[in-house]
Amino acid sequence: MRNLKMTIAYDGSRYKGWQKQKDTDLTIQGKIEAVLSKMTEENVLLVGCGRTDLGVHAENYIANFHTKCAMSSDTMMDYLYQFLPEDIVVKSMVDVDERFHARYNVKSKTYVYKINNNKYRDVFNRKYTYHLAEKLNLTEMRKASDALIGSHDFQSFINSKSKNKSTIRTINYINIIEHDGNIDIEVNGDGFLWNMVRIIAGTLIEVGKGNLEASNVEKILNEKKRWEAGPLAQAKGLLLRDVQY
């Protein structure tokens, strides 16, 4: 039995997220599993590195699956390229140790939230960035982000419907980078709760707009109340950039 590790890029605009669902075929996992199952003539179960929400994108999403299929990795990739929709591409596929697990072996993930902070929206990137004409104060946003670094209880920064037993996570770094009016909020951590990165982004945007003091972010963490934090930022601005093992 082979264990194959895949690196996948996808435009999540028209999908209901990564995870396969019973009531729709518009999921990334569902689309790839269907093609893999047809190709291998097996019932393939694809293991992903985590869930991405409806409308969220990925540059280097990691998944793995087990198969008895003897096709070469290159042949499999060509087949996938031919039969997957144009908004999903398998960038690489390699044989790995049978114990490798795309989700359980993750050490950290890097997400990027993209903001177009220019006066006018970019018609070519409008599906992948959140447009905000109001100028953001990056100095205050960076001050606010400092309070989130380290291990904390992120109860204030998750969707109220989250089923996670523990809400303690570790943020390794947050970089806020600006270039020609485009802002990237880069967040790296050991794992993320449901909507956590988008709520962090929404909170930092509120700080940048002057609606929230940077010094209040530590208090928001300690209060452990979702309504104390900022709004949920739009899904289209979020991108899973990389996964570290």
46 and 63 Cβ atoms separated by less than 8 Å: yes
Are residues 67 and 40 in contact, defined by beta-carbon separation less than 8 angstroms? yes
The first and second tokens of residue 81, run together, are 């390229």
In a 10 Å sphere around its CB, with 0-12 CB exposed, 13-18 middle and 19+ buried, how is residue 34 labelled? Answer: middle
CA atoms within 13 A on the CB side of 143: 13
Local confidence pLDDT in tens for the 245 residues of the chain:
999 999 999 999 999 999 988 888 899 999 999 999 999 999 999 999 998 989 999 999 999 999 999 999 999 999 999 999 999 999 999 999 999 999 999 999 999 999 999 999 999 999 999 999 999 999 999 999 999 999 999 999 998 665 667 889 999 999 999 999 999 999 999 999 999 999 999 999 999 999 999 999 999 998 888 888 899 999 999 999 999 99
Q: What is the reported pTM?
A: 0.93
The tens digit of pLDDT for each residue in 178-209 reads 999 999 999 999 999 999 999 999 999 999 99
User: How many CB atoms are closer than 10 A to CB 197?
Assistant: 25
In 3D space, the residue among 193, 99, 86, 203 whose CA is nearest the CA of residue 144 turns out to be 203
Which of 11, 53, 95, 242 is catalytic? The answer is: 53
Please name which of 42, 48, 58 lies closest in space to residue 19, comparing C-alpha atoms.
48
Mark whether 23 is an active-site residue: no
Going along the chain from its start, the domains and CATH numbers come out as: 2-95 (3.30.70.580), 110-244 (3.30.70.660)
